[in-house]
Amino acid sequence: MKLVAVYLLMLIKFLNRVLFKFQCFLVDRFLQNSPSDNPVSEKYRALRVDAMPIIEKRELLDYRQLLSKYLKERGKPLKPVNRRSKYLPPLGTICPICNAPYEYIYDNVGGRGQLGCKVCKSTFYPDKAYLEKLTLKCPHCGRALQKKRDRKQFFVYTCVNRCCPFYVRNLTSMSKDEKADFGKNPYKYKLHYYYRVFDVKLDSLKKDTSIPSAVDLSRIRNARYVLGLVLTYHINYGLSTRQTSSILWDVHNIKISHQTVANYAASAARVVKHYVDDYPYELSSSVSVCGDETYIKVSGKRHYVFFMMDAVKKIITSYSIFLNRDGVAAIKAIYSTLSKFKNLPEDLTLIFDGNPIYVLAQHFFAQHGIYFDVKQVIDLTNRDEVSKEYRWLKQIIERLNRTFKGVYRGKNGFNSFERANSSWLCLLLFLISCAGIRLFLIMFL
Ligand SMILES: [Zn+2]
Ligand SMILES: [Zn+2]
């Protein structure tokens, strides 16, 4: 039996190759070969984000009807799952498609999370049931997309239709050499329509866990003006914790350790975080928010700061630090900005660089019914109309970026994620309020 399966698999592989060759022949013979602006080969593959799919609600079923249909057709009722496997689905799970009760749900992949329903024969992940209730369709041919891979933070869906205009167009854009190479190394090319669904819950974005831990500033041993001096040197003038500690001793004759400087900064960050995040900002217009990312070192490791700001009113709306420069980081940064709008403008446009993660984030929000446009200013010269129109906004955020970089250089990296976060927060408040963090804290403590 095993041998037959191996043989069949080899045959399928062979037939696939023959079909591809035949398809190439037909395309070459009857369709014009037109090199495209969107290359399909590996070096560009990561930079491409395909259009949004058509998202439809999947037709839900009723398990009672399905069970009675089974009884009518087979003359006997459908038995509940005979549980012999050591892997059991989580107690109380019901099928998201037909509502079948727990007795009909079984583990489909040996404890790795995917479950199956014996009544409607669908497979699903219990914590991602919302995805099962949707049908994603290819925007080019209208066929339902197939879930191909399950990555750490997203699922990959593709259109496997070989007559899909998107696929045919990509095929015709390939040169002869590329086609020959594709036969040998298909993984290097991206011909089919490809869509990523992020496994991030919108609700989880509301909970921000990056609140710096702190000492209680109202109970510190030093006088308040010492706290003011510490913050002025460390935040306003960008001195490192050690430099701050040493200037306080050299100039003011105050003995304070560099660790205490760090603790004060973290505590100040904790106090101001709420003001920075929840202040009722009056953001200016639908086309004024732009974003950029830059890297910093935390404990010797590369991290990324995602800035977003209202470039007209100079309000910084996102400032978080992330370990990766990926779609999830972009989603979180954009969420922080969107949450600062009292009412989201209907024609909201966000301006970024050419990084495709922002388009992925845009798709993520569209899935949740939150719509905005993304314009990408690419390269340093205005090679397209969009870059020409929005470059001035991009230049403002790049200026902000340089300011942060200037302060960061003095600090020579951060030795913990928390310290990096609290330093940013304080600096941010310093930039927002011209009076500076020292005055702010003295007013509020
Ligand atoms: Zn079901
Ligand atoms: Zn398609």
pLDDT at 340 over 50: yes
Which one of 63-72, 194-203, 336-345 scores highest in mean pLDDT?
A: 63-72
Residue 253's pLDDT band, with cuts at 50, 70 and 90, is: very high
Q: If you ran DSSP here, which 8-state letter would residue 381 be given?
A: S
Strand-pair category, 289-298 with 349-352: parallel
Residue 438's pLDDT band, with cuts at 50, 70 and 90, is: very low
Q: Is the pTM of this model over 0.85?
A: no
Question: What integer is the mean pLDDT of 243-255?
Answer: 93
Q: Residue 98, exposed/middle/buried by CB under 10 A (0-12, 13-18, 19+)?
A: buried
Question: What integer is the mean pLDDT of 190-200?
Answer: 81
**CA–CA gap between residue 248 and residue 264 (Å, rounded):** 14
Question: What integer is the mean pLDDT of 388-417?
Answer: 75
Protein residues with C-beta less than 5 angstroms from the ion ligand 1: 95, 97-98, 100, 117, 119-120
Q: What confidence score (pLDDT) does residue 105 get?
A: 92
Closest listed ligand to the CA of 115: 1
Residue type, 433: S
Residue 64's pLDDT band, with cuts at 50, 70 and 90, is: very high
Closest listed ligand to the CA of 164: 2
Q: What confidence score (pLDDT) does residue 247 get?
A: 94
**Least confident interval from 96-100, 391-395, 423-427:** 423-427
Closest listed ligand to the CA of 81: 1
CA of 23 to the centre of ligand 2 (A): 16
pLDDT at 68 over 90: yes
pLDDT at 274 over 50: yes
pLDDT at 210 over 60: no
Taking only the tens place, the pLDDT of each residue in 94-116 is 898 898 999 999 998 887 778 89
Residue 211's pLDDT band, with cuts at 50, 70 and 90, is: low
pLDDT at 248 over 90: yes
> What DSSP string describes 186-245?
GGG---S-EEEEE---HHHHH----PPP---GGG-SS-HHHHHHHHIIIIIS---HHHHH
Q: Which residues contact 197 (CB under 8 A, 6 or more apart)?
A: 131, 136, 154, 155, 157, 367
Q: By the 8 A CB rule, do 147 and 159 touch? A: no
Taking alpha carbons only, the member of 359, 344, 224, 226 closest to residue 289 is 344
pLDDT at 28 over 80: no
Q: What confidence score (pLDDT) does residue 434 get?
A: 46
CA of 97 to the centre of ligand 1 (A): 5
pLDDT at 47 over 60: no
**CA–CA gap between residue 73 and residue 318 (Å, rounded):** 59
CA of 203 to the centre of ligand 1 (A): 26
Taking alpha carbons only, the member of 361, 392, 359, 360 closest to residue 376 is 359
Q: By the 8 A CB rule, do 144 and 137 touch? A: yes
pLDDT at 421 over 80: no
Count CA within 13 A, CB hemisphere, residue 94.
9
Taking only the tens place, the pLDDT of each residue in 133-160 is 778 889 899 898 888 877 767 788 899 8
CA of 142 to the centre of ligand 2 (A): 6
CA of 77 to the centre of ligand 1 (A): 16
Distance of CA 2 to the CA centre of its chain: 42
Which one of 268-272, 296-300, 326-330 scores highest in mean pLDDT?
A: 326-330
CA of 182 to the centre of ligand 2 (A): 20
Taking alpha carbons only, the member of 60, 57, 53, 59 closest to residue 155 is 53
CA of 168 to the centre of ligand 2 (A): 10
Angle at 196 between CA 115 and CA 330, to 5 degrees: 120
pLDDT at 124 over 60: yes
